Amino acid sequence: MSKPLMSKATAVWLVDNTTLTFRQVAEFCGMHELEVQGIADGDVATGVKGFDPVGNNQLDAIEIERGQKDPLYKLKLKFNASAVGEEKRRGPRYTPLSKRQDRPASILWLVKFHPELSDGAIGKLVGTTKPTIAAIRERTHWNINNITAIDPVALGLCKQSELDTAVQAAVRKKAAEGGVMSDDERRKLVSTEQSLGMDTEAKMPSGLGAGLAQFTREEQEEKPADFSDADSFFNLPHGDDDDEDEDDDIRR
């Protein structure tokens, strides 16, 4: 671990019981130097009881002596075998009590608009269990008729970047499996920024488009001229000037 347990309480104890500089305490406890100064001034961590790092086997007393003699000395946290891997512990996402009733709505939204996401990916995004996801996916949830699909990002259950990462992972997995995606599925699988730049117009198959174009040209060629309009009927094309001169000679 890079920080001691109860780092703020440890900083309070070091400020009250040693002559270490604010920077030394801040570097050891993983805090900002101004925050340690606020502890010394009584503006920060008011009412927090100091936590002795020496008595709790997190710091050797000789380290404090070296730090008090040399302001540039950096305190070294004592190795604790039981704390190895503590920061890497994985577990379900914690959801506040005020937002737990919104999880079914977000699950329904993910199942509806991102069916490529697995139950495990949905569980990590909104902090729920696989049985709940399966019940909503199969529409056997006890309150399924009253659940409205709502974006989990809008509900604050996950970040947009986390949702995009999960969707992109689903894209790579489906591509590795050799699955063929339709235009609608591809539009759902890409991120928000990419989907905004995609062409939303429906594309006509090349074979069908060529057939329709040929049919239109043939219809135009076979369609006779329409002289139903009176103006177009009487405004016939005039002949050459030689024909007009011959007509004048005949009349004479």
> Which pLDDT score is estimated for 186?
54
* Angle between helices 130-137 and 119-126 in degrees, nearest 10: 110
SS3 state at 243: helix
CB 50 within 8 Å of CB 29:
no
Mean pLDDT along residues 118-122: 90
Domain identity same for 105 and 78:
no
Which tokens belong to 65?
A: 């002596």
Mean pLDDT of 186-212: 47
Whether 127 is covered by a domain: the verdict is yes
**Residues 170, 112 contacting (CB under 8 angstroms):** no
Asked whether residue 247 is assigned to any structural domain, the reply reads: no
The dihedral over CA atoms of 175, 180, 181, 182, expressed in degrees to the nearest 10, equals 160
Q: Using alpha carbons only, how large is the chain's radius of gyration in Å?
A: 39
Task: Provide the residue type at 159 as one letter.
Answer: K
Which residues 6+ apart lie within 8 Å of 181 measured at CB?
174, 189
**Residue 249 resides in a domain:** no
Domain edge (last residue) among 33, 54, 83? 83
**Which of the pair, 38 or 199, is modelled with greater confidence?**
38
For residue 168, tell me if it sits in a domain: yes
Asked if the structure places residue 173 within a domain, the reply is yes
Question: Strand locations in 28-75, DSSP E?
Answer: none
Please check whether residue 184 lies inside any domain of the structure: yes
Judgement on whether residues 62 and 110 belong to the same structural domain of the protein? no
pLDDT at 242 over 60: no
Residue 46 has a pLDDT of 77
Q: Are residues 104 and 191 in the same domain?
A: yes
Q: How confident is the model at residue 206 (pLDDT cuts 50, 70, 90)?
A: very low
How far, rounded to the nearest angstrom, does the alpha carbon of residue 239 sit from its chain's CA centroid?
A: 74
Same-domain pairing of 132 and 184: yes
Q: Which domain holds residue 18?
A: 7-83
Q: Do 60 and 110 lie in a common domain?
A: no
What is the Cα–Cα distance from 91 to 200, expressed in whole angstroms? Answer: 40
d(CA 188, CA 198): 11
Asked whether residue 1 is assigned to any structural domain, the reply reads: no
User: What whole-number distance in Å separates Cα of residue 126 and Cα of residue 152?
Assistant: 7
Q: Residue 122: pLDDT band by 50, 70, 90 thresholds?
A: very high
The per-residue pLDDT for range 143-159, each reduced to its tens digit, is 999 999 999 988 888 88
Judgement on whether residues 101 and 66 belong to the same structural domain of the protein:
no
For residues 207 and 171, the model is more confident at 171
